C-alpha cells in the first residue's frame, strides 16, 4: 500500500463517519432530546446572577 491508497481509505472513512453523524443528528428519534437541549438556556431556575439594573438598585 502506498500513501495515496491510505489517504483515499482515510477520506472514505471520514466521509462515512460524517454521513453517520448527519443521519444520527437528523433522526426523528433524537428530535425531542435536541429540542429540550435547545431550550435549556431559557429555563429559569431562580439561581441566576443579578442583572446590572438589580445591582444598581441595591446600592441606592
pLDDT on residue 28 = 87
Scan for cell 481509505, then name that residue: 9
pLDDT on residue 18 = 98
CA distance to 3, 6, 13, 17, 47, per residue, from 24 (Å) = 32, 27, 16, 10, 34
pLDDT on residue 53 = 59
Decide: 24 and 30 in contact? Cβ < 8 Å. yes
pTM of the model: 0.55
In the chain, where the domains are located: 3-43
Averages of pLDDT over each 10 residues, the chain, 60 residues: 95 98 91 91 72 56
Q: Which are the contacts of 34, defined by CB distance < 8 A and separation ≥ 6?
A: 25
Q: What stretches of the chain show up as alpha helix (H) in DSSP?
A: 3-25, 31-39, 52-58
pLDDT on residue 49 = 56
Cell, residue 32? 425531542
Amino acid at each position: 500500500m502506498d500513501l495515496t491508497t491510505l489517504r483515499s481509505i482515510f477520506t472514505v472513512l471520514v466521509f462515512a463517519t460524517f454521513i453517520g453523524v448527519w443521519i444520527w443528528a437528523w433522526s426523528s428519534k433524537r428530535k425531542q432530546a435536541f429540542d429540550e437541549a435547545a431550550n435549556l438556556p431559557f429555563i429559569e431556575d431562580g439561581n441566576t446572577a443579578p442583572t446590572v439594573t438589580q445591582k444598581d438598585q441595591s446600592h441606592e
